[in-house]
């Protein structure tokens, strides 16, 4: 009797797990293994043949100028957006959390909405704002600030920074909400006793808020770094890596090799794996650095 | 903060917005719904809208049901290699999309799922994040409730759907909204898996639209506004749930 029940339960558990196991094997494990195999081979789209070539693709990447260019652009993107996004979103959260602010829910919603809007829509919108006859050029003209005449995205020196500014605008609301959740966990009497001792806004910020938000900081920085390393859609929509490859990112380079060039899928797979390893190393180093403190 | 989005809506309400000399003459010119009317007048736009809606709804229903099953098993049952299954969920969460982009594309081609709803739906019916969310929630439901039902003679499926499912409603709502948002906004894979017009979703359509030689700016902004609108409506009604879902990972850390 008991064995029978156990069998029944095992069967039940198996049914419960089946959707995940199928999804895992078909859409994750198999593609991942395929990707690794592909990265060590040359794949011809026409004949559908895979030829094993060892480390050739990997060696080629490290002598490819396009790789270093995309690497530098991506690093500029990460180093430029992550600290700014983190700082702005933290400050917004602190401001919104103070008792004196009215219409809190409204501000929260207003800051948050860009982060739930489709990246494609936001990219199209900003392409227009940044364009030759766009809103931004017109404002610069009115205030007589120098501006790129062809538009912000057509000038190699401004294109990447323009996309970074858009990304910061889009992301701060999301991280702000995460910081707000973290702030709610800080007991209020800490601030009250600090106020009794005459602490200023900045003293409270640096002595109480920031140290107590450590875990939130770690989470926000790591998640944002991982996301920023994968910057792709905005580049695909806004610049296609141009002008003069000044906005070409690592993931965009993977995409170009895989889908815009012929017979480069093996190379693209190797590149994809290298990008993944770079992201992993960055995240691990960040975790180490922040845990040591 | 809202200025760029407001600007998008203003542009979408003007006829030939690119023809205006400056900003003030544009703002004070007549508002019109003609861009929206012409968008919905073209049959294709309705098809893109329907594709987006259909795919997002089916994927959302799939996630509610399937993540619930797996999340329940992980929260309540003991089984062989449980740790490995849990590890696989965490592992998949950290795999970037670009890493499986090429093989998944090959797989979809080989399965003959190109330009088919199957490629837009089947791979996304269950997500590791959803499983994780449900698992964490079910672990917080007291086990005594289930035990009492079992003593009363309720079978496994009855306990699952008559007792645990209703109790999980708060987290399943969060999961549903989160999944709908993500699927509605999803771009990369729907873009890769569709090269025929009839199967495109709204974001994919917009990406093709801007690739055309001459763009009607008012039309483009109307299309963009329409694809942002459902998200805004959902956001207004479910703000609390959305924020809860998006920060759930952070809070559990």
CB contact under 8 A, B7 and A16: no
For residues B85 and B70, what is the distance between their CA atoms, to the nearest angstrom?
10
For residues B207 and B187, what is the distance between their CA atoms, to the nearest angstrom?
9
Q: Does position B253 have pLDDT exceeding 50, yes or no?
A: no
Q: pLDDT tier at B19 (50, 70, 90 boundaries)?
A: low
Q: How confident is the prediction for chain B on average, in pLDDT?
A: 86
Same domain, A89 and A127: yes
Residue of B nearest to A128 (CA): B217
Q: Decide: A243 and A154 in contact? Cβ < 8 Å.
A: yes
Same domain, A142 and A72: yes
Q: Does position A69 have pLDDT exceeding 90, yes or no?
A: yes
DSSP string, B107-148: HHHHHT-TTSHHHHHGGGSS-HHHHHHHHHHHHTS-HHHHHH
Residue of A nearest to B10 (CA): A125
Distance from CA of B203 to the nearest CA of A (A): 6
> Across the interface, which of A12, A31, A174 has its CB nearest the CB of B100?
A31
On the CB side of B18, how many CA atoms lie within 13 Å of its CA?
A: 13
Q: Does position A202 have pLDDT exceeding 50, yes or no?
A: yes
CB contact under 8 A, A113 and B11: no
Q: Does position B247 have pLDDT exceeding 90, yes or no?
A: no
Length of chain A: 293
Residue-level pLDDT at B248: 62
Same domain, A35 and A73: no
Q: Decide: A94 and A182 in contact? Cβ < 8 Å.
A: no
Give the three-state DSSP class for A46: coil
Chain B residues closer than 8 Å to A119 by CB = 185, 187
Same domain, A168 and A268: yes
In a domain, B40, yes or no: no
In a domain, A101, yes or no: yes
Same domain, A115 and A231: yes
Residue-level pLDDT at A1: 44
Give the three-state DSSP class for A49: strand
In terms of pLDDT, which residue wins out, A273 or A101?
A273
Residue-level pLDDT at B252: 45
* A143-167 mean pLDDT: 88
In a domain, B209, yes or no: no
Domain at A119, CATH number: 1.10.3720.10
Residues 141-200 of B with CB under 8 A from A: 156-157, 181, 184-185, 187-188, 192
Residue-level pLDDT at B20: 66
Same domain, A132 and A170: yes
Residue-level pLDDT at A4: 59
pLDDT tens string B151-174: 888 888 888 998 899 999 989 998
In a domain, A70, yes or no: yes
Q: Does A129 contact chain B (CB < 8 Å)?
A: yes
Residue-level pLDDT at B178: 87
Q: Extract the runs of DSSP E, i.e. beta strands, from chain A.
A: 41-44, 49-52
Q: Decide: B145 and B165 in contact? Cβ < 8 Å.
A: no
* B102-120 mean pLDDT: 93
Residue-level pLDDT at B16: 74
Chain B residues closer than 8 Å to A178 by CB = 246-247, 250
In a domain, A1, yes or no: no
Q: What is the 3-state secondary structure (H, E, C) of A194-238?
A: HHHCCCCHHHHHHHHHHHHCHHHHHHHHHHHHHHHHCCCHHHHHH
> Across the interface, which of A31, A174, A259 has its CB nearest the CB of B246?
A174
Residue-level pLDDT at A289: 85
In a domain, B32, yes or no: no
Q: pLDDT tier at B55 (50, 70, 90 boundaries)?
A: very high
Structurally, chain B folds into a number of domains equal to 1
Which range scores top for mean pLDDT: A157-166, B3-12, B239-248? A157-166
Chain B residues closer than 8 Å to A273 by CB = 99
Q: Among A71-75, A136-140, B145-149, B179-183, name the one with the lowest average pLDDT.
A: A136-140
Q: Is the peptide bond before B247 cis (omega within 30 degrees of 0)?
A: no
In a domain, A2, yes or no: no
Domain at B59, CATH number: 1.10.3720.10
Q: Write the burial class of residue B143 (CB in 10 Å: 0-12 exposed, 13-18 middle, 19+ buried).
A: exposed
Same domain, A50 and A97: no
Q: Does A90 contact chain B (CB < 8 Å)?
A: no
Same domain, A148 and A281: yes
Q: Does A174 contact chain B (CB < 8 Å)?
A: yes
Residue-level pLDDT at B45: 85
Q: Among A138-142, B71-75, B95-99, B196-200, name the one with the lowest average pLDDT.
A: A138-142
Same domain, A92 and A45: no
Q: Does A17 contact chain B (CB < 8 Å)?
A: yes
Range of the domain at B90: 46-202+230-247
Residue-level pLDDT at A98: 82
Q: Does position A123 have pLDDT exceeding 90, yes or no?
A: yes
Same domain, A106 and A22: no
In a domain, A190, yes or no: yes
> Across the interface, which of B18, B77, B236 has its CB nearest the CB of A133?
B18
Q: pLDDT tier at B72 (50, 70, 90 boundaries)?
A: very high
Structurally, chain A folds into a number of domains equal to 2
Same domain, A218 and A181: yes
Q: Does position B233 have pLDDT exceeding 70, yes or no?
A: yes
In a domain, B2, yes or no: no
Q: Decide: A166 and A79 in contact? Cβ < 8 Å.
A: no
Residue-level pLDDT at B239: 79
Range of the domain at A130: 60-289
Tokens of B206: 């917009």
With a CB cutoff of 8 Å and minimum separation 6, the contacts of A193 are: none
pLDDT tens string B182-226: 999 999 999 999 988 889 999 999 888 887 756 678 888 888 888
Distance from CA of A203 to the nearest CA of B (A): 26
Task: Please identify which residue in the block is written with the tokens 């993931």.
Answer: A251
CB contact under 8 A, A237 and B207: yes
């Amino acid at each position: 009797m008991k064995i029978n029940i156990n069998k029944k339960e095992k069967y039940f558990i198996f049914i419960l797990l089946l959707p995940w196991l199928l999804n895992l094997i078909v859409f994750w494990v198999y593609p991942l293994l395929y990707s690794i195999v592909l990265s060590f081979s040359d794949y011809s789209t026409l004949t559908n043949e895979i030829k094993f070539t060892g480390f050739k693709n990997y060696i080629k990447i490290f002598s490819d100028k396009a790789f270093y260019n995309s690497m530098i652009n991506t690093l500029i993107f990460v180093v430029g957006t992550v600290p700014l996004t983190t700082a702005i979103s933290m400050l917004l959260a602190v401001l919104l959390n103070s008792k004196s602010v009215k219409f809190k829910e409204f501000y929260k919603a207003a800051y948050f909405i860009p982060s739930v809007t489709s990246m494609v829509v936001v990219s199209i919108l900003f392409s227009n704002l940044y364009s030759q006859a766009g809103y931004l050029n017109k404002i610069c003209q009115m205030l007589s600030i120098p501006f790129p005449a062809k538009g912000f995205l057509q000038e190699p020196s401004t294109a990447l920074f323009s996309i970074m500014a858009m990304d910061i605008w889009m992301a701060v609301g999301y991280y702000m909400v995460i910081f707000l959740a973290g702030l709610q966990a800080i007991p209020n009497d800490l601030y009250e006793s600090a106020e009794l001792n005459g602490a200023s806004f900045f003293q409270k910020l640096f002595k109480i808020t920031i140290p107590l938000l450590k875990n939130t900081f770690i989470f926000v920085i790591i998640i944002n770094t991982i996301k920023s390393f994968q910057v792709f859609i905005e580049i695909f929509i806004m610049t296609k890596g141009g002008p003069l490859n000044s906005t070409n990112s690592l993931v965009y380079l993977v995409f170009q090799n895989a889908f815009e060039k012929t017979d480069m899928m093996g190379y693209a797979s190797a590149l994809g794996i290298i990008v993944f390893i770079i992201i992993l190393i960055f995240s691990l180093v960040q975790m180490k650095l922040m845990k040591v403190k | 903060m809202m200025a760029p989005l407001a600007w998008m809506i203003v542009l979408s309400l003007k006829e030939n917005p690119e023809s205006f000399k400056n900003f003030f003459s544009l703002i004070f010119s007549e508002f019109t719904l003609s861009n929206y009317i012409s968008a919905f007048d073209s049959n294709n736009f309705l098809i893109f809208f329907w594709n987006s809606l259909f795919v997002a709804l089916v994927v959302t229903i799939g996630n509610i049901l399937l993540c619930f099953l797996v999340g329940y098993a992980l929260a309540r049952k003991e089984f062989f290699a449980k740790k490995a299954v849990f590890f696989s969920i965490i592992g998949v969460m950290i795999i970037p999309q670009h890493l499986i982009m090429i093989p998944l594309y090959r797989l979809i081609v080989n399965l003959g799922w190109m330009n088919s709803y199957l490629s837009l739906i089947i791979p996304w019916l269950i997500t590791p994040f959803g499983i994780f969310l449900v698992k964490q929630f079910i672990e917080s439901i007291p086990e005594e409730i289930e035990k009492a039902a079992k003593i009363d003679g309720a079978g496994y499926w009855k306990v699952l759907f008559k007792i645990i499912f209703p109790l999980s409603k708060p987290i399943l709502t969060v999961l549903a909204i989160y999944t709908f948002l993500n699927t509605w906004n999803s771009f990369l894979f729907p873009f890769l898996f569709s090269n025929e017009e009839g199967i495109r979703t709204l974001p994919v359509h917009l990406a093709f639209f801007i690739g055309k030689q001459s763009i009607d700016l008012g039309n483009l902004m109307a299309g963009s506004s329409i694809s942002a609108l459902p998200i805004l409506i959902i956001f207004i009604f479910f703000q609390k749930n959305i924020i809860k879902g998006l920060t759930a990972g952070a809070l559990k850390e």
